[in-house]
A and B are shown apart, each in its own frame.
Chain A
């Protein structure tokens, strides 16, 4: 069964350091999402790609976060510099891209980030 891959699974860093997360969506899925989930809350969309184009990055803190999906397949999310408040689960999801508000999203295992 096809799955969304993410790495690393866990990351511990000190504040002011740079961190990067990688995501490989299900093959053939045009839409890729990065979410941040703080403990006790639901996933919050950070950025959404359709192929290599950004569709929505309205909630991405652009002063420190960046995301790219250069070839429209895998994607990287970067934080520089990391802050204590960035500690969270970072989830990647993908969908077919037929319709943004009706497509089922499939999640990867997530990256648990701890900033010390």
Chain B
């Protein structure tokens, strides 16, 4: 079982709609969760971090964490073409004292 799992996509969403990206993880005691955006050929850039159960909002982005279900998601409201990128989920494993990245979900916003 992969430690951090994401659907590779591509996920195609019409412009203006809500894009929903999902991530599951295997270590129940994980404490930190990150979403990075990566444009093709570029390096990852941090969008949001979340540490507690519930929702965290930042502009058009909302991160949702459910530790009981070992599930973290990222919602992007009013999707724009500039949101087309690969979104990487990263999870901090206290047992390994490291952050582990998923393989990413490719998101495409169609006009």
Residues of chain A having any CB pair with chain B under 8 Å:
40-45, 48, 56, 89, 91, 100-110, 112
In the complex, what residues of A have CB within 8 A of residue B98's CB? 45, 48, 56, 100-101
In the complex, what residues of A have CB within 8 A of residue B94's CB? 101
Cα–Cα distance between A109 and B45 once the two chains are bound (Å): 10
In the complex the two chains form, is B41's CB within 8 Å of A112's CB?
A: yes
- State how many residues of chain B have any CB contact under 8 Å with chain A: 29
Chain B stretch 23-44: residues in CB contact (< 8 A) with chain A: 30-32, 34, 36, 41-44
Within 8 Å by CB of A41, from B34, B41, B103, lies B103
In the complex the two chains form, is B101's CB within 8 Å of A42's CB?
A: yes
In the complex the two chains form, is B103's CB within 8 Å of A105's CB?
A: no
In the complex, what residues of A have CB within 8 A of residue B1's CB? none
Q: Among B31, B34, B97, which residue has the most Cβ atoms of chain A within 10 A? A: B97
